Amino acid sequence: MEKYRQLNIKLTPQRLAILDYLRDNTNHPSAEDIFKAVKKKFPTMSFATVYNTLETLLNKGGIHELKIETGKKRYDYDVTPHHHIICIKCRKIVDLYKDYKIPLPDEITREFELINKTVEFYGTCRNCKKRH
């Protein structure tokens, strides 16, 4: 796959499995989610490999790290700019592809060189709403 090649890293079987899992599971999995899934294919898989691979991919810009939970990080294969809606009950995360132009006051732009922004919406999804 083209994206894989662009990463310009050694594509070991473990790394491929991690990448494939991320590509096929767009529900923003955590390191543990990835570990559990990939361990089925590679029983000797360790957390170190998951974290090492994630860091390598991060540095190459192949994935995004979501800091939406405080307890654990979640990962996103989709690196095109987008925002998220998070269900505060089940922690489901839904993507939102919209480019919001949000003006910043001058006193901020004088003080900060802006790099990027995230907009996060919190609410309850229909499922969690039903079972009140």
Residues that bind DNA (CB under 7 A): 9-10, 12-15, 30-32, 42, 44-49, 51-53, 55-56, 70-73
The window from 1-9, 35-43, 46-54, 99-107 that contacts a copy of itself (CB under 8 A) reads 99-107
Nearer Cβ to DNA, position 9 or 94? 9
Dist CA 63 CA 4 (whole Å) = 11
| Positive or negative: CA dihedral 20, 22, 23, 24 | positive
- 37 and 8 in contact (C-beta within 8 Å)? no
| Options 43, 105, 106, 132; binder of a copy of itself; rule CB under 8 A | 105
Residues 6+ away with beta carbon under 8 Å from 101? none
Best CA proximity match to 77, nearest among 24, 132, 129:
24
CB of 54 to DNA, least distance (A): 7
Cβ count within 10 A of residue 26? 13
By rule CB under 8 A, what string of x and - marks binding of each residue 60-89 to a copy of itself?
A: -----x-xxxx-xx-----------x-xx-
CB of 23 to a copy of itself, least distance (A): 23
* 102 belongs to the binding site for a copy of itself (CB under 8 A): yes
